[in-house]
Amino acid sequence: MKLFAVLALALLGTWPLPALAQSIKLGAVVPLTGRYGAGGAQVRAGYEIAVAHVNAAGGVVVAGTKRSLELVLLDDESDATKTVSRLETLAAQGVVAYLGGFGSDLHAAAAAVAEKNRIPYLGVAFALNKVHQQGFRYLFSPFWKSPDIGRQLPPLLAALPAANRVKSVAIFQEKTDWGREMAEAWLEAGKVAGYQVVVQGEYAPGAKDFSDLILKAKAAAADALFALPTPPDGMAMIKQMRELGYTPKLTLFIRAPDPPVWSKNLGKDGDYVMLAPGWHNGVKAPGVKELNEAHVKRAGRPADPIAGPAYASVQILAAALARAGALDREKVRDAIAATDMTTVIGPVKFRTNGTGIVQSVFLQWIKGKQELVWPKESATAPLAYPAPPFTAR
């Protein structure tokens, strides 16, 4: 009789359901539309594939009970105001943790919300270091930051043929916090690498005409061009560089060349551009093969650069949930802070300010494909240098 009574109570909803049926709700706000839409698509792919893999492997064991992960993903339309409102919506739904989107400005807005709500936040695809200097306890990013990019650039430049190294650089500085921060990192890198910054000019995001900056760089015969444009701005720069006959030996664009649309829209003109998206599908780490196979089924190609760090964020969160032993946000936060594990992006630890200690890689578009060119020991292709004129490609 007792067994029948228990079953009856369960059917009536007055008895706790088995713990196995309860999922762990994770909230993600990602730009699927707007200026960051292409990058946001990579983030979404990484999250969704990782969640599917975790669940297929039996979910996460929390306090002896297996639970599946449930991803609730909302589009902020590349609008920081909507990033904030969407995160508040997810908090009201009881998510245990936040997963971030794409773009430093959106992450900067999100970090404050996570701190206010005391919900741990894992975000990739943003190199802005400034946001980590504000004392946020709940912000974590397994992704290299502006100072990391600056510190890792000189060894790459030093490996170029001595007689033909980069001696002069033009910096196209976006009028944003990240633009200023990255320009400072490149100026510091020059002290180590031995190059002189001969042009440093600002532009507003969304500008249509970059001819003044390009002509100044051309007149100064700058060997290299460093910038961090959005994808639309970066593609406009390349098109105008071709029109104005300026081909630097080396072009390093942060952010703009990350999505596949770069090569689709620019063709051969998009080749020879270096990028620093934080990962490449040729990285030798556990789980990369499975991620690439799943991504091929989903999109017809191996995993895009941002899909790897996004996938790693779910790996880190799943491991933290298991170590926390409870769906308590503070315990989960502490478990994330103590992370010391190997993911699809390699080993990951966190500094006390939430920045990740992760592997550094540089990529380059070569023949319409993103190749891993640095570090040399894991490269899928040698760095193509110097770049030939646009008319000779």
Domains in the chain (CATH in brackets) are 2-144+282-357 (3.40.50.2300), 147-277+362-392 (3.40.50.2300)
pLDDT at 35: 87
What is the chain's mean pLDDT, rounded? 93
pLDDT at 279: 96
Q: How far apart are alpha carbons 205 and 229 in whole angstroms?
A: 7
Q: Which residues have CB under 8 Å from 305's CB, separation 6+?
A: 42, 258, 275, 277, 278, 279, 280, 281, 363, 370
Q: How far apart are alpha carbons 146 and 155 in whole angstroms?
A: 16
Q: State the average pLDDT over residues 342-371.
A: 97
Which residues face 24 on adjacent strands? 69
**3-state SS, one letter per residue, for the chain:** CHHHHHHHHHHHCCCCCCHHHCCEEEEEEECCCCCCHHHHHHHHHHHHHHHHHHHHCCCEEECCEEECEEEEEEECCCCHHHHHHHHHHHHHCCCCEEECCCCHHHHHHHHHHHHHHCCCEECCCCCCCHHHHCCCCCEEECCCCHHHHHHHHHHHHHCCCHHHCCCEEEEEEECCHHHHHHHHHHHHHHHHHCCEEEEEEEECCCCCCCHHHHHHHHHCCCCEEEECCCHHHHHHHHHHHHHCCCCCCEEEECCCCCCCHHHHHHHHHHCCEEECCCCCCCCCCCCHHHHHHHHHHHHCCCCCCCHHHHHHHHHHHHHHHHHHCCCCHHHHHHHHHCCEEEECCEEEEECCCCEEECCCCEEEEECCEEEEEECHHHCCCCCCCCCCCHHHC
**Confidence class of residue 6 from pLDDT cuts 50, 70 and 90?**
very low
Q: 309 near 46, Cβ under 8 Å?
A: yes
**Least confidently predicted of 1-15, 39-53, 121-135:** 1-15
- pLDDT tens digits along 166-215: 999 999 999 999 999 999 999 999 999 999 999 999 999 999 999 999 99
Classify residue 59 as left (phi > 0), alpha (psi -120 to 50) or beta.
left
- pLDDT tens digits along 80-139: 999 999 999 999 999 999 999 998 899 999 999 999 999 999 999 999 999 999 999 999
pLDDT at 104: 87
**Confidence class of residue 12 from pLDDT cuts 50, 70 and 90?**
very low
Q: How far apart are alpha carbons 363 and 139 in whole angstroms?
A: 27
Torsion sign across C-alpha atoms 251, 255, 256, 260: positive
pTM: 0.86
Of residues 10 and 243, more confidently modeled: 243
- pLDDT tens digits along 291-323: 999 999 999 999 999 999 999 999 999 999 999
Given a cut of 50, whether residue 19 has pLDDT beyond it is: no
